Amino acid sequence: MIENLNVFAVRTLTQKEYFAPGHRSCQGCAEALAVRLVCKALGRNIIIAAATGCMEIVSSPFPFTSWKVPWFHCAFENTAAVASGIEVGLKVLMRKGRIPQKKIVTVGLAGDGGTADIGLQALSGALERGHDFIYVCTDNEAYMNTGIQRSSSTPFGASTTTSPAGKTKMGQITWKKNMAAIAAAHNIPYVATACPSYPMDLIQKVKKAADIQGAAYIHILSVCPTGWRSAPDLSIKLGRLAVETGTFPLYEVEHGRYHLNIDFPKLKPIKEYIKLQGRFRHLTEEMIEEIQTRITHDYEQLKERDRRGF
């Protein structure tokens, strides 16, 4: 159902662009696409607090800007704290009548390094305090902006410049941190995963997050051809394969209740996803099998949560 919707429904989206073209992202950057879709979903009445990273560096070389909405960048690890400040600032100024009453959505925007590693403390603090904001993590699974170094969100086996495939180690030796589960553990009203290869699903989730009172966390898988060593024209396909193989399932956690958005009677083998990416090309059959086992297990666990609801 959702797949059919995706084929046609994107044409119904607003023609307006709030993340303007002309920015400097790489060819085939799905992160830029994700940000563009997030902006389309939210419209103009937003304020974005952005972390240092690819999306910041491609969009704001002074005196240029790609942002048609208010956009604020100050550092790497504090996006959630800055967004907290913006949210409370707006709230108190409206209460005191210094700016007109109006719904303005505060958005924190950071990559996987800025979220799962260095920004985790600030994010946890902001989620715990329950600010009314949306935190969007665009996850391209490594520090791409500084030259493809591993993060805690880099998948097992992936070769990066700091988890290289060498003679004794075969790339990243740890499993990807489950940020959505960490966010959900804060008992916030809304957590979702999304991928720009499923644009309508992504947009619906962002809109839902904006409507919800309280903190919302959206984790978006963002294919990075530069870092994943994949062909730029395969970014959308790779995003789909991530979902279809169960590597990156699309689901929501609403007030603690898990809901798997797209389920497949049979997942595609992860080999189909892995073989299109140079970062995995050193993997042996055994390692691929190990990853397959883990992915299948995690997916089954998620399906069980979906059945149980929590």
Partner 1 sequence: MAKRVGMEVSIAAAEAVKQANVDVISAYPITPQTHIVEHLSEIVANGEMDAEFFCVESEHSAMSVCIGSEATGARSFTCTSAQGLALMAEMTYIASGLRLPILMIVANRTLSAPLSIWNDHSDAMMIRDCGWVQYFVENGQEVYDHVFISYRLGEDRNVLFPVIINMDGFVLSHVIEPIELIEQEKIDQFLPPYQPLYQLHPDKPITMGAFALPAIFAETKKAQEVALRSSMPKILEVWKAFGDMTGRYYQPVETYKAEDAETLLVTMGSIGETASVAIDKMREEGRSVGLVKIRLWRPFPFDELKRATLHAKQLVVIDRAISVGACGPVASEVKAALYGDDQRPSVYNFVAGISGRDVTPSDFTKMVDKAEIEIEEGRKDGYEIYGVRE
Q: Does 99 bind partner 1 (CB under 8 A)?
A: yes
107, containing H or E segment: strand 105-111
Residue 82 lies near partner 1 (rule: CB under 8 A): yes
Q: Which is nearer to partner 1, 83 or 242 (CB)?
A: 83
Cα–Cα distance for residue pair 107/111, rounded to 1 Å: 13
Euclidean distance between CA atoms 172 and 176, whole angstroms: 9
* Residue among 9 and 88 whose Cβ is closer to partner 1: 88
Hey, what long-range contacts does 141-149 have (CB within 8 A, 24 or more apart)? 141/112, 141/176, 141/221, 141/224, 141/227, 141/228, 142/112, 142/113, 142/224, 142/227, 143/111, 143/113, 144/54, 144/111, 144/224, 144/226, 144/227, 145/52, 145/53, 145/54, 145/57, 145/111, 148/226, 148/227
| Contact status: 104 vs partner 1 (CB under 8 A) | yes
Among 19, 37, 40, 56, interactor with partner 1 by CB under 8 A: 56
Chosen residue from 54, 110, 122, 291 binding partner 1 by CB under 8 A: 122
Judged by CB under 8 A, does residue 173 bind partner 1? Answer: no
Query: Under the criterion CB under 8 A, does residue 78 sit at the interface with partner 1?
Result: yes
Q: Are 72 and 87 in contact (CB under 8 A)?
A: no
Using CB under 8 A, which of 85, 214, 269, 278 touches partner 1?
A: 85
- Binding of residue 288 to partner 1 (CB under 8 A): no
Angle at 197 between CA 298 and CA 266, to 5 degrees: 40
Q: Which residues, numbered 126-165, are part of the site for partner 1 (CB under 8 A)? A: 126, 128-129
Q: What sign results for the dihedral spanned by CA atoms 297, 140, 282, 169?
A: negative
Residue among 67 and 273 whose Cβ is closer to partner 1: 67
Q: How far is the CB of 158 from partner 1 (least distance, A)?
A: 28
Residue 166 sits in the site that holds partner 1 (CB under 8 A): no
Asked if residues 126 and 132 have their Cβ atoms less than 8 Å apart, the reply is no
With respect to partner 1, which residue has the nearer C-beta, 2 or 92?
A: 92
First-residue to last-residue Cα distance in the chain: 24
CA torsion 270→293→199→304, rounded to 10°?
150
Q: Which of 81, 107, 182, 206 binds partner 1 (CB under 8 A)?
A: 81
To the nearest whole angstrom, how small is the minimum distance from the Cβ of residue 108 to partner 1? 10
The stretch near partner 1 (CB under 8 A) out of 86-94, 208-216, 254-262, 266-274 is 86-94
17 part of the interface to partner 1, by CB under 8 A: no
Q: Which is nearer to partner 1, 81 or 270 (by Cβ)?
A: 81
Helices (H), 76-233: 79-95, 112, 120-129, 179-184, 199-211, 225-228
Q: How many CB atoms lie within 10 A of CB 22?
A: 8
Residue 42 vs 267, nearer CB to partner 1: 42
Q: Which of 91, 229, 294, 303 binds partner 1 (CB under 8 A)?
A: 91
Is 46 a binding residue for partner 1 by CB under 8 A? The answer is yes
Contacts with partner 1 by CB under 8 A lie at 44-47, 49-50, 56-57, 60-65, 67-75, 77-78, 80-93, 95-96, 98-99, 102, 104, 121-122, 124-126, 128-129
